[in-house]
Structure 1
């Protein structure tokens, strides 16, 4: 038997125990049939109570570590990525969390820990160390348009936007995400959660005109690449992101941008972050692609049953 987290498909197959001779340690009979996650030998020195207990204590800790999936969130320095990274670290009993950011400055912004890696998703070689050994990947990287200087809102009109050289959606949302998917597939990840955006059904969506980047076009191309990869996936196409408290609204799932035709087309970043992590825990979330929004605060019932939420979804892409 395995030792999975609640609802998780991340489990480790049992591995046998061998030992040099039958120990008399009083703790051994209690654990001899457990699926230990690494081979080890028990020598006669384990007959000594203190050594025995300390050895087993260390072993049990190692078992607990090995039974938790290692999850990497890329774009961990972004506003939504920071929330996902924080939630993973807060649930250290369920996950071993890692982060990938683009700069040392971003790394320091989220604590500067050793499990936060610095790499450029446009360079496949630079992200290898972060992805090595992971069980799941949450992709939150995205090209970010910048406003051209000189805009004066008092004069009316609309601001103009641009993307920095080399940081267009084609490089970040297509090539960068493709690099992540390829690297994750190479190390045998069990699931990839990709956060995109609603609006991809409309090539003339206003977001595509920002900086002439066609950002939704390139995001959609990466989503299709993931869906065709053979890796279990969850594609979340979020509505308008809001910096509001999460966990207090009823979440809504949809398809084909239908939610954009309603009054419920926004969602708190914290709720998107929660759905990312919940998607790792339920089979019902795998091989699914869906739009995500929420009802206004104070209406409906705050979503707590994520298995039921994912069960509502039937669309694979």
Structure 2
């Protein structure tokens, strides 16, 4: 099996770090590196910065060296809203994005920068991790900081599909449900399209998934040919669901998915 060189951007985020950690556990299969802004955060999470490149996805030139020789790019960057100030009693909190960190800049232009730089570098497969809700303009996450974050993510996904078709680069778009900080590998995973699982999940289950399971889906997408040129939503059944069959074979799961948005 040929060794795949993989770059994970957003590798100090809560999901990105899990993906990079999983890849580093398989050095016989993946030559994995992380890309992040903060050296201090990478050092704190990984105990070393030896496997890291540092830069800013809104400055495309900082991606060039990191992508040299890469076969695969995993995009896990995302704008992050922050609370303006503690709300007064009885009032809802207000959110904002840091200067230069609006979703249009990060989740759209920043992802375009990564896609363009990867194609220019000869990357063969781009895995983009996004969020469900991009078809719903009034989704609560779009209201945070007036950022329309899910809408910009969806636009970036469309760009990746068009760029992949035009360049011959394979894509996989994984739109996760609400992210849980719970153990992975103990649930049945479900895939869908166009946010149907947000409102029509079987048996009314919550449209959520552990971050660890999203990370495993990413790793399996790098391995499995049936994940290439697919875009899908993914959630999980609750842990210990009596009807669940824990997902351990990912080829059948990916076989249920389809191309295009």
Runs of 4+ in structure 1 off by over 6 angstroms are: none
Is 1:256 equivalent to 2:194 in the alignment? yes
**Residue 270 of structure 1: aligned partner:** 212
Give 1:264 deviation, angstroms.
3.4
CA contact (8 A) 2:67 2:118 kept: yes
Q: Summarize deviations over 1:188-237 as a string: whole Å, max 9, x none.
A: 11100000100001111111110001101110111011000122100000
For normalisation by structure 1, the TM-score amounts to 0.77
**Residue 67 of structure 2: aligned partner:** 131
Which consecutive residues of structure 2, in runs of 5 or more, have no partner in the other structure? Answer: none
- Aligned pairs for 1:86-235 within 5 A: 86-109=21-44, 110-152=46-88, 155-230=89-164, 231-235=169-173
User: Counterparts of 2:258 and 2:151 in 1: how far apart (Å)?
Assistant: 23
CA contact (8 A) 2:39 2:49 kept: no
Is 1:310 equivalent to 2:259 in the alignment? no
User: Counterparts of 1:158 and 1:308 in 2: how far apart (Å)?
Assistant: 43
**Residue 21 of structure 1: aligned partner:** none
User: Counterparts of 2:85 and 2:91 in 1: how far apart (Å)?
Assistant: 14
How large is the Cα RMSD of the aligned pairs?
1.0
Q: Which has the higher strand share?
A: 2
Which secondary structure state, in structure 2, belongs to the residue aligned with residue 229 of structure 1? helix
- Size of the aligned set, in residue pairs, is 250
CA contact (8 A) 1:107 1:118 kept: no
User: Counterparts of 1:156 and 1:307 in 2: how far apart (Å)?
Assistant: 49
CA contact (8 A) 1:289 1:316 kept: yes
CA contact (8 A) 2:178 2:207 kept: yes
Q: Summarize deviations over 1:289-312 as a string: whole Å, max 9, x none.
A: 000000000110110010010001
Which secondary structure state, in structure 2, belongs to the residue aligned with residue 307 of structure 1? helix
Q: Summarize deviations over 1:235-284 as a string: whole Å, max 9, x none.
A: 00000000000000000000110110132300000000000010011111
Which secondary structure state, in structure 2, belongs to the residue aligned with residue 280 of structure 1? helix
User: Counterparts of 2:206 and 2:138 in 1: how far apart (Å)?
Assistant: 21
User: Counterparts of 1:206 and 1:278 in 2: how far apart (Å)?
Assistant: 31
- Aligned pairs for 1:3-14 within 5 A: 4=1
Which of 289, 295, 303 is matched with 2:231 structurally?
Answer: 289
User: Counterparts of 2:109 and 2:222 in 1: how far apart (Å)?
Assistant: 24
User: Counterparts of 1:298 and 1:259 in 2: how far apart (Å)?
Assistant: 20
Give 1:76 deviation, angstroms.
0.3
User: Counterparts of 2:83 and 2:53 in 1: how far apart (Å)?
Assistant: 29
Structure of greater relative contact order (alpha carbons < 8 Å, 6+ residues apart): 2
User: Counterparts of 2:192 and 2:90 in 1: how far apart (Å)?
Assistant: 35
CA contact (8 A) 1:255 1:315 kept: no
